[in-house]
Amino acid sequence: MAEAEELLAEGALVATRFAHDLWRRHRAAPEVARLADVRERIECFVIGLRGACPTLGISSPPLQRTWLGRLLLRIPRHLNSATAQPATDGQRVLLPRELAPLANDLNALCRYRLYALAQALRIERKTHTNAPLDRLERDLFIARDGLATLTELAAEVPRLNADIAACVRASLATRPATEQLTPLEQAVEARLRSALRDALSPQRTAASVPAGHELLAEVIEAAAALRANFPGRYRGLPSAECWGELVEAGAPTLLAPAAFSREAAQRSPPRLSHLARRPTPRVASADEDDERPGMFIVKADASQTGVEDPLGLSRPLDEGAADAAELSAALSELPEARLIRAPGAVREVLLSEGRNELRAAQSPLGAPNSGGFSYPEWDYRISSYRQPGALVRESVAEVGDVGWAETVLRRHARLLHTVCESFAELRPRRSRLLRQPDGMEVDIDAYVSAFANRLAGVSWDDALYEDVRPRRRDVALLLLVDASASTDASISGRQRIIDIEKEALLVVCKALERLGDRYAAYGFSGESAAEVRVRAIKRFDEPYDIAVERRIAGLEPDGYTRLGAAVRRATGLLAREQARHRLLLIVSDGKPNDIDEYEGRYGIEDARQAIVEARLQGLHPFCLTVDRQAPEYARHIFGPTGYTLLRDAQLLPATLLELLRRLVRA
């Protein structure tokens, strides 16, 4: 029996939600740009102008405090801003998830470009390391250094002058009102505004740009003078958007979805929602958890609500009642949260953009295999192989859902069609072979040449015929697919890298099947040198059938990327093939890593050595990577022409195809 109060509360909730939705629908301007959509262009822009681009990340909006929270923590109103600012942590460029155009005709893309460039410049200027810790000094420093940054930027790219001016004007317009500030804050605010106005003045380009550490002394002196002359506390002032914030490079933070349980994924797909802001993971204090569960208190006076849950212990979330959006909103409000790992299916996945720095849960080791293949590993420190190196266990990949392949093929029917069409072009065509000893027709050129040779009295070739025969293209191809836990990261909202890899693999296998060349597909992952898992999806002498489809379907991310050992195993398999051209195609999502020292330079050098070994055996290794940071190490491992960076994982099938065409065209 619903009480009147509950009805009222429910009604109010519905009304607010409705109003909220309505507001959002009408507010959403079409020109709003999302970082995910323009990231590529921004990166190219920064690389073009500065030669390299730091990693782009999402800057979180500041934690929203309630009125009561602000009161308790004594946070002044002007610091309780809701918008994310461009920022840097000294290594990454952090940009807001989405940006709207500024009122004075600076479109969102231009804003992104400008912010990214300014933050990249701040990283180069070492603003983050130079900044003093005292709040007042820091704010003054950020403004002074920001002015220098913008000046440098304008001098380097004069065409951006108008954009910079528009952006500075907008920052000037959004400065907090001075009435509620203490005298000291007012004085600082005046300084900040004057820095912004300086950024607008046309003479600034003429001034020489001071380096960060040169500003430091000046700023400390100014801060002392301000403190001496103006009374009041200094609680901080918001930074100007045109030069952005400085944030601390925190510990790896990400709420990674625990490994997807296969049964659960089949039962009901997890609900997805975006997480606006990631809480910082909190380390549990020593006495936080009780070793054993304590007593329950059952309130006897409360009416029993249900038979399944007599004690009323289930939260609405456990019952799946709350929707994921609500959960993500609730989680975003927490300053920090403890990370726990629980068995069982995942029901809500909250997507948080940025690098997946947290490893997904370790999965239990597979069924013990009979032995394995041991490969030495290259140790760059001693310039020699290390024995014992890594142990590769090869097994047949586990089978997955029967219906998966069919669903994917139906969904990608058009893509499959296009891919097969283009592969058909590669099919060994009937070609005209000249100068054959026997054939259907006379080769006129050969005949004339031989005739002339005969008249001249020199030896002549009796290969005077031409023949039309299907040409045999002698190619064997091994696809080595990265199935480590990092492929669990979602890339385009709904799909994980592994999903895209799987779909691409399926489409390409289908197409290769029509081509008639010998090919094989293997997935690899593993954990530690003793447990590198190479899983056969399709062996060379195995026909493509439903079992192969199911093995592709069953490919799930786990473990790490011990690339060297996997490449050595694949090299061994491919080297047995008789074909003239043997291609080893590695589809990867990141650099080699493992739980041990393989993470760093050791892994890169070992992978490089493995690739060199493959080359020495007459194979052609080639890597297709979706990692944006790949150029830093892929060039070292695979050589400048041995890899391609895939800018959009969705393009994987098409790119694989294009690559095969290029490699196979003889």
Under the rule (CB under 8 A), what is the footprint of another protein?
40-41, 43-45, 47-52, 113, 157, 159-160, 448-449, 451-453, 455-456, 458, 581, 583, 620, 622, 631, 635, 640-642, 644-645, 647-648, 662-666
**Which CB, 508 or 614, lies closer to another protein?**
614
Distance between alpha carbon 392 and the CA centroid of its chain, in Å?
28
Burial track 177-189 (b if 16+ CB lie within 10 A, e otherwise): eeeebeebbbbbb
| CA distance to 394, 485, 583, 587, per residue, from 557 (Å) | 16, 5, 24, 14
Q: 212-229 vs 135-156: helix axis angle to the nearest 10?
A: 140
CB of 596 to another protein, least distance (A): 29
CB of 352 to another protein, least distance (A): 25
| CA distance to 340, 542, 569, 570, 572, per residue, from 375 (Å) | 37, 25, 8, 12, 10
313 by Cβ neighbours in 10 Å (0-12 / 13-18 / 19+) ranks as exposed
CB of 341 to another protein, least distance (A): 37
Distance between alpha carbon 576 and the CA centroid of its chain, in Å?
36
CB of 608 to another protein, least distance (A): 17
CB of 43 to another protein, least distance (A): 7
CB of 463 to another protein, least distance (A): 13
CB of 93 to another protein, least distance (A): 16
**Measuring CA to CA, which residue among 67, 201, 70, 220 is closest to residue 140?**
220
Residue whose tokens read 């760059």 = 380
**Measuring CA to CA, which residue among 547, 503, 501 is closest to residue 413?**
503
| CA distance to 3, 46, 145, 210, 218, per residue, from 132 (Å) | 58, 27, 12, 17, 12
Q: 435: alpha, beta or left, given left = phi > 0 and alpha = psi -120 to 50?
A: left
| CA distance to 358, 363, 559, per residue, from 556 (Å) | 17, 10, 10
**Which CB, 40 or 596, lies closer to another protein?**
40
CB of 442 to another protein, least distance (A): 16
Alpha-carbon gap, residue 177 to 241, rounded angstroms? 16
| CA distance to 229, 293, 294, 341, 449, per residue, from 290 (Å) | 54, 6, 8, 17, 95
**Which CB, 76 or 642, lies closer to another protein?**
642
**Which CB, 49 or 391, lies closer to another protein?**
49
Write out the DSSP string of 1-39: ---HHHHHHHHHHHHHHHHHHHHHHHH--TT-EEHHHHH
437 by Cβ neighbours in 10 Å (0-12 / 13-18 / 19+) ranks as exposed
CB of 98 to another protein, least distance (A): 19
CB of 105 to another protein, least distance (A): 15
**Which CB, 187 or 664, lies closer to another protein?**
664
CB of 454 to another protein, least distance (A): 9
Q: What are phi and psi of 35, to 5 degrees?
A: -60, -40
How much helix, strand and coil, in percent to the nearest 5, is found in the chain?
Answer: 45, 15, 40
CB of 95 to another protein, least distance (A): 16
**Which CB, 157 or 327, lies closer to another protein?**
157
**Which CB, 307 or 458, lies closer to another protein?**
458
**Which CB, 20 or 635, lies closer to another protein?**
635
**Which CB, 94 or 660, lies closer to another protein?**
660
**Which CB, 274 or 647, lies closer to another protein?**
647
Alpha-carbon gap, residue 201 to 377, rounded angstroms? 60
CB of 430 to another protein, least distance (A): 18
* CB of 623 closer than 8 Å to CB of 481: no
Q: 108-124 vs 135-156: helix axis angle to the nearest 10?
A: 110
How many CB atoms are located within 10 Å of the residue 233 CB?
11
**Which CB, 47 or 207, lies closer to another protein?**
47
* CB of 483 closer than 8 Å to CB of 523: yes
**Which CB, 154 or 219, lies closer to another protein?**
154
Based on DSSP, count helices (H) and strands (E) in the chain, helices before strands: 20, 21
**Which CB, 176 or 631, lies closer to another protein?**
631
CB of 179 to another protein, least distance (A): 41
* CB of 506 closer than 8 Å to CB of 571: no
Report DSSP state, residue 485: G
**Which CB, 35 or 506, lies closer to another protein?**
35
